[in-house]
Structure 1
């Protein structure tokens, strides 16, 4: 299994200017269950409960509970903290930013024909943030086994390069800059990296990411005799992701004449795209106080375009002077994507590539018990609700854009095979409840997102089981009276994860363990009309 993983990553490294890999696939698939403040305060539990605008993104049948029109706004604020352990060194990163839950409008239409079983039809247009990409973290430490530059070395060797121009045209991001700055060089038939000479390196990695994944939804629901509700949502996911990566390696030997002092690599990646998905759901009320909900979310088909640029500054001490037999040659070189593009006849300071991503399907079951549920909802006293959701992360798939025939499919097939081995089906569970005092409500909930990773795969590949779960307890209060309502929620997520800065064929993988802590305040203001 480890051989499959290494081969897949190696293939990922040699095909395109910047690869879409097995780790990036999870970014657009591991989506949190956001929503209104009311919903998030009860753990985002809403497969069977309904009666919230967030139903459009969880179970559209829940919109059938509405008998009036509503307009809803949900702003929020995130407090992100990430503690990272790498080679016995612990670092901490923070990033806070304004965010948002579900906002939109609901229109409910009663049926004027009394003989019909259809009591009302509800239509909603809403927007929701399904993933928050804002983070900032750094980590580093001593590495006696490998250099980051070796990944560029492997790219060049495996490509079967035929000339220096071939290297420039195939690898405009990273490998070309490393070659142009003498960090990587060729001696006859031998290609090597100067940074690998010492095998005693001080490494540091810094990552700053911005953006998020939002979804615009149009949903409809139908209510049959208050016993059976069903609905459908057409969603349009929108992706905006930006990442800045900075890698610094320094010679840890103290030798000032071993052809390597340091290098700094900076990469800027921007991803933009959009797609489409569908959600189906039903809610059954066999008795007035008990509800059963079922929902299915189709995979999202998303077209994405990556925009990337990179630069390398290397200090190779006296190496350039030696190989050129020229004492006037500098010890430090800097090259960026624009410099390489000029050499290959490409205009601009960045490169771009478009492709498609298919996210996993989801299926869920929910149960709710409502205390004193009667026709006058103002007399309802409390409810408790719970969800179980299945997400098959093995179904994440990359595809080339329709109509292209440039060898992309072979690359994506290799990545998809690794995804199938690396990920598994995960189980997410949520539970929440509300207690009502006339116009005031208090709420609490708990949300657990299971790990998407195949633990046997990681135990075999990295020598230990790497974890990737998240749990979120939540509390909230609400006020409703005379067509106006306001809700406030506080959530605090805890989780475990990991980060792999680079992969190599013939070396153990360096990786960092992450401890996630994320506080979030959400407020919802709504009006009935």
Structure 2
């Protein structure tokens, strides 16, 4: 397989855990959320309109409103993961509450008939774009590489002396050096000739990766749209992404031979990482009805500019048997009890949506419509994510983030997502079905990744009240990297399994 080259990333004494391509992908690759209705029809909202989720997809769609509306969408998420890591299968699961699009729609109609603008609408809504609550666990036998090699690479690359190895990488390499997972190589006269890993890679180790993640990617949207003669709808929304993410990681390698004399029994690395961000962005769109039955939509989502603040704590325990015994070290002890902190900015990828809908019995009185079928084609430029330093005067940081961005460009590509859905209306009862395919964001063809969604639901509407129930089942194929190396191909776990999203939406016309 291809190696993901991260380049000669400069790591700093106060925060020796580098950004990785996964940090950028976390805010870019996700399935469409929304109300229960939108979830049930596969997330197609590029040209349908008349739904509060349009505020987050194509804001022109809120221009179809001619009444006020209040919407609430509680939900429940079910994660069932399967991993294959170097021939070993593992399963894990985690269920959590989440929510879909909720908020208000305020509309205003022009009754004098003297202007082309028939009506306008304003929307204030919030949606959980992505849910980060999950349990990722895999294990397997590895005689090809070790996580200790990332620390060995770092010390060797930086030509670190022993003082630097002891103190300059307190969230990674210094922990490895202080616990003798990585030790010195002696040259002539006792001089430092380099570093070595104490892990017996040639005979293999048993590796275990166990991480519990929490948090979500939330989006507040303030949208406005206008309706011109019930034919043309134009809208835009100002978005505020609010992101919280936390990961508790335990990674362990144990000697597969049980040889008490090879200077390695086990090593365990623990990490507590948290990240919070808030930013700004924009979404703009247009919907046009060339004929009464047809709707054509186009939307563009600008990159969102998000400022992040991260915190990190780490610890390591290594048993090198007769070499140094069992030794533990923590970043807290090396950093006066404080976590490592960093601040940076992220520019997320842009995306564009082209959509078409056919509405059966399309007339001005939407209560008499009988069915629709709709499709969205969405392009996302995953490789367009960019990290930036918050300190414009620090050239070393600028160079570091330039190299991280090169890694993102090498790791990912742009790709297309396709969504299809429909609804059948029988007086006050609606039946819905949908599906979606989300293409792989990875540039490496060896990494098989996609998300396939099957969805359905029912709805009830009468006397200004509506209740919808929707369920989407996502079949996930992805890759999880236990660690990243520069000098050899990276090993990863192949992820499959599924995620279920059960949602109930309650709304009332005001």
| TM-score tier (shorter) | over 0.9
Does residue 19 of structure 1 match 2:18? yes
Aligned runs of 1:265-280 on 2, under 5 Å? 265-280=269-284
Report the alpha carbon displacement of residue 142 of structure 1 after superposing the two structures with TM. Answer: 1.2
For the residues of structure 1 that align with 2:290 and 2:45, how far apart are their CA atoms? 18
Identify the residue that residue 179 of structure 1 maps to in structure 2. 177
Identify the residue that residue 340 of structure 1 maps to in structure 2. 334
**Alpha-carbon contact 1:14-1:159 (below 8 Å) kept:** no
Identify the residue that residue 502 of structure 1 maps to in structure 2. 483
**Alpha-carbon contact 1:28-1:359 (below 8 Å) kept:** yes
Map Cα deviations across residues 451-488 of structure 1 (whole Å, 9 max, x no partner).
1112xxx25xxxxx211210111011000011110000
**Alpha-carbon contact 2:200-2:255 (below 8 Å) kept:** no
SS in 1 for 2:138: strand
**Alpha-carbon contact 2:71-2:102 (below 8 Å) kept:** yes
Provide the aligned C-alpha RMSD in A: 1.7
SS in 2 for 1:319: coil
For the residues of structure 1 that align with 2:432 and 2:8, how far apart are their CA atoms? 50
SS in 1 for 2:220: strand
Tell me which of 404, 425, 440 is aligned to 1:436: 425
**Alpha-carbon contact 2:206-2:255 (below 8 Å) kept:** yes
Identify the residue that residue 65 of structure 1 maps to in structure 2. 64
**Alpha-carbon contact 2:11-2:169 (below 8 Å) kept:** no
For the residues of structure 2 that align with 1:12 and 1:76, how far apart are their CA atoms? 42
Identify the residue that residue 282 of structure 1 maps to in structure 2. 286
Gaps of at least 5 residues in structure 2 are: 187-191
Identify the residue that residue 149 of structure 1 maps to in structure 2. 148
Report the alpha carbon displacement of residue 255 of structure 1 after superposing the two structures with TM. Answer: 1.6
Q: In structure 2, do the counterparts of structure 1 residues 39 and 197 end up closer, same or farther at CA, with 3 Å as the change threshold?
A: closer
Tell me which of 334, 358, 370 is aligned to 1:381: 370
**Alpha-carbon contact 2:143-2:201 (below 8 Å) kept:** no
Aligned runs of 1:67-466 on 2, under 5 Å? 67-164=66-163, 166-186=164-184, 187=186, 188-196=192-200, 199-320=203-324, 331-341=325-335, 347-454=336-443, 458-459=444-445, 465-466=446-447
For the residues of structure 2 that align with 1:316 and 1:366, how far apart are their CA atoms? 60
Q: In structure 2, do the counterparts of structure 1 residues 413 and 199 end up closer, same or farther at CA, with 3 Å as the change threshold?
A: farther
For the residues of structure 2 that align with 1:197 and 1:121, how far apart are their CA atoms? 66
Q: In structure 2, do the counterparts of structure 1 residues 405 and 113 end up closer, same or farther at CA, with 3 Å as the change threshold?
A: farther
Report the alpha carbon displacement of residue 411 of structure 1 after superposing the two structures with TM. Answer: 1.4
Report the alpha carbon displacement of residue 334 of structure 1 after superposing the two structures with TM. Answer: 1.2
Normalising by structure 2, report the TM-score. 0.95
Report the alpha carbon displacement of residue 402 of structure 1 after superposing the two structures with TM. Answer: 4.8
For the residues of structure 2 that align with 1:374 and 1:491, how far apart are their CA atoms? 30
SS in 2 for 1:263: strand
Map Cα deviations across residues 125-182 of structure 1 (whole Å, 9 max, x no partner).
0000111111112111111122211111111111122342x23443111211111112
Report the alpha carbon displacement of residue 235 of structure 1 after superposing the two structures with TM. Answer: 0.3
Report the alpha carbon displacement of residue 119 of structure 1 after superposing the two structures with TM. Answer: 1.1
Identify the residue that residue 502 of structure 2 maps to in structure 1. 521
Report the alpha carbon displacement of residue 196 of structure 1 after superposing the two structures with TM. Answer: 3.8
For the residues of structure 2 that align with 1:65 and 1:506, how far apart are their CA atoms? 56
Map Cα deviations across residues 389-429 of structure 1 (whole Å, 9 max, x no partner).
11111211111115341511111111212222221111111
**Alpha-carbon contact 2:70-2:507 (below 8 Å) kept:** yes
Map Cα deviations across residues 4-57 of structure 1 (whole Å, 9 max, x no partner).
x43x25526678522111122101111321100011111110111000000000
Q: In structure 2, do the counterparts of structure 1 residues 222 and 157 end up closer, same or farther at CA, with 3 Å as the change threshold?
A: same
Identify the residue that residue 326 of structure 1 maps to in structure 2. none
Map Cα deviations across residues 485-518 of structure 1 (whole Å, 9 max, x no partner).
0000011000211111123244342211000301
For the residues of structure 1 that align with 2:311 and 2:194, how far apart are their CA atoms? 33
Identify the residue that residue 325 of structure 1 maps to in structure 2. none
For the residues of structure 1 that align with 2:456 and 2:103, how far apart are their CA atoms? 23
**Alpha-carbon contact 1:34-1:130 (below 8 Å) kept:** yes
Normalising by structure 1, report the TM-score. 0.92
Q: In structure 2, do the counterparts of structure 1 residues 425 and 198 end up closer, same or farther at CA, with 3 Å as the change threshold?
A: closer
For the residues of structure 2 that align with 1:253 and 1:14, how far apart are their CA atoms? 36
**Alpha-carbon contact 2:55-2:62 (below 8 Å) kept:** yes
Pick the structure with more helix per residue: 1
Map Cα deviations across residues 63-108 of structure 1 (whole Å, 9 max, x no partner).
0110100000000001101100011110001010001100000000
For the residues of structure 1 that align with 2:507 and 2:273, how far apart are their CA atoms? 38
User: How many residue pairs end up in the alignment?
Assistant: 503
Identify the residue that residue 28 of structure 2 maps to in structure 1. 29
